[in-house]
Amino acid sequence: MNIEEQAKKVAIAKRSLAQISTKVKDEALHAIADSIWKMREKILAANAIDVKYARKRKMKESLVDRLMLTDSRIDGMIHSIEDLIALRDPVGNADASWTMPNGLRISKVRVPIGAIGIIYEGRPNVTVETSTIALKSGNSILLRGSSSAQNTNEVLVRAIKEGIEKTDVPEDAVELVEDTSHEAVGKMIRLKSLLDLIIPRGGKQLIDFVTKNSTVPVLETGIGNCHIFVDATADLGMALDIIDNAKTQRPGTCNAVEKILIHKKICESFLPSLYKRLSEKGVEFRGCEVARQIIPEIKPATEEDWATEYLDLILGVKCVQDIDEAIEHITKYGTKHSEAIVTNDYSNAMKFTSAIDASAVYVNASTRFTDGGQFGFGAEMGISTQRLHARGPVGLFELTTYKYVILGEGQIRK
């Protein structure tokens, strides 16, 4: 089946989904969770093949980690579905309602966006997260994953469809594009008559290509060149723990920290502790001249480094004059994803949160929390770094739009 035929199936399915009750959608999610549980061994076997080929192609280990599924990660998928079931369905809810002097009763009502196309790279958990959050919000979805995860994605979508077919949700509500070529992406993003929204979720090259060439409206998820600024008043033990978590827990994710900015007053005392702790975990440091004077082993950072999302155990470090220089640096090089300050100065905390233009701004916490599940959304379609119409983790509410429903009693306009 070619991509246009699949898009037509998804477009037809959205009509039925828009009219299905929350109860039926939740029944489908329960069935999907059960199906994934039952197909666990097949999913892991398919994923093992993908991981083997990824390593054979010399994919870096931080990206292999994104690709890899384990029993605990499959359990996480199932738990995220259970969390999604427990959430309120926004479809059909009225944001506002009022009565005009002429008696017209007007309501602003939440409705699904429609048929969504998502293009994403080698993270098979995205297959389950995006499919289930689309269904809960009444949207159909056309999935186009990467070749590196295709075996895993095929088994996951089979599990999803086997769950759906036991319910009143149309089986065509979820479709996986089998063609993983670059040309398939080009075709998909031009199906304006069939798809209502395209979401690119991956690296800068993919996102730039889609935003520049799509005829379908695009919800842009962004790359994460994330920063943590360690202020002069910071609790340095807290700062070490936060940076360690933000860099090393899962370095291949978009919410991992990539750059550390340190106030000049504490750079000489704090940087050696940071270097020792993270270098013991395999982190490579690249820094400014001041940082390299303190620790000569640090490699020099180039202009390209400051703008790079490493997705690896590499960390850029810069000693800055004050919070104003930190804000200026983040404004120049940040990608509007997740930024953080570690400080005990309330005024600086408030200044940072108001001055930094990002989808998530943290005070004394790891950037790794920028995630739909961690925000209580159950799952996410991605992290939007744009201003319209959604920003941050894209959850159920962000996958709806609205229409006005007007109830009258024969009124005519004079």
Q: 337 and 360 in contact (C-beta within 8 Å)? A: yes
User: How far is Cα 165 from Cα 188, in angstroms, rounded to an integer?
Assistant: 26
The alpha carbon of 230 is separated from its chain's Cα centroid by a whole number of angstroms, namely: 26
Which residues are within 8 A (CB) of 56 and not within 5 positions of it... i.e. 6 or more apart?
Answer: none
377 to 81, 300, 371, 394, 398: CA distances (angstroms): 11, 40, 8, 8, 10
3-state secondary structure of 405: strand
Which residues are within 8 A (CB) of 104 and not within 5 positions of it... i.e. 6 or more apart?
Answer: 406, 407, 408, 411
pLDDT given at position 389: 86
pLDDT given at position 151: 97
Task: List the beta bridge partners of residue 392.
Answer: 384
Helix, strand, coil in percent for the chain, rounding step 5: 45, 20, 35
Instruction: Tell me, letter by letter, the H, E, C secondary structure of 303-322.
Output: HHHHCCCCCCCEEEEEEECC
Residue type, 144: R
What pLDDT, in 10s, does the model give residues 305-353? 999 999 999 999 999 999 999 999 999 999 999 999 999 999 999 999 9
- As its CATH architecture, domain 3-221+381-407 has 3-Layer(aba) Sandwich (3.40)
Query: What is the average pLDDT value for the chain, to the nearest integer?
Result: 96
- Average pLDDT estimate for 151-179: 96
Q: 365 and 372 in contact (C-beta within 8 Å)? A: no
Backbone angles phi, psi at 233, to 5 degrees: -95, 5
pLDDT of 147 > 90? The answer is: yes
Q: 95 and 110 in contact (C-beta within 8 Å)? A: yes
pLDDT of 122 > 90? The answer is: no
pLDDT exceeding 70 applies to what percent of the chain? 100
Backbone angles phi, psi at 340, to 5 degrees: -140, 150
Boundaries of CATH 3.40.605.10 in the chain?
A: 3-221+381-407
CB atoms within 10 A of CB 373: 18
pLDDT given at position 62: 87
Pairing label, strands 226-230, 257-263: parallel
pLDDT given at position 268: 97
230 to 50, 190, 241, 352: CA distances (angstroms): 40, 45, 12, 12
User: How far is Cα 318 from Cα 286, in angstroms, rounded to an integer?
Assistant: 9
What pLDDT, in 10s, does the model give residues 277-294? 999 999 999 999 999 999
Half-sphere exposure of 106 (CA within 13 A, CB side): 11
Tell me how far apart the 2 most distant CA atoms of the chain are, in Å: 81
pLDDT exceeding 90 applies to what percent of the chain? 94
- As its CATH architecture, domain 226-369 has 3-Layer(aba) Sandwich (3.40)
User: How far is Cα 49 from Cα 63, in angstroms, rounded to an integer?
Assistant: 15
Backbone angles phi, psi at 286, to 5 degrees: -130, 125
The reported pTM is 0.91
Select the more confidently predicted residue: 220 or 44: 44
What pLDDT, in 10s, does the model give residues 225-255? 999 999 999 999 999 999 999 999 999 999 9
User: How far is Cα 75 from Cα 73, in angstroms, rounded to an integer?
Assistant: 5
Boundaries of CATH 3.40.309.10 in the chain?
A: 226-369
Name the pLDDT band for 1 (thresholds 50, 70, 90): confident
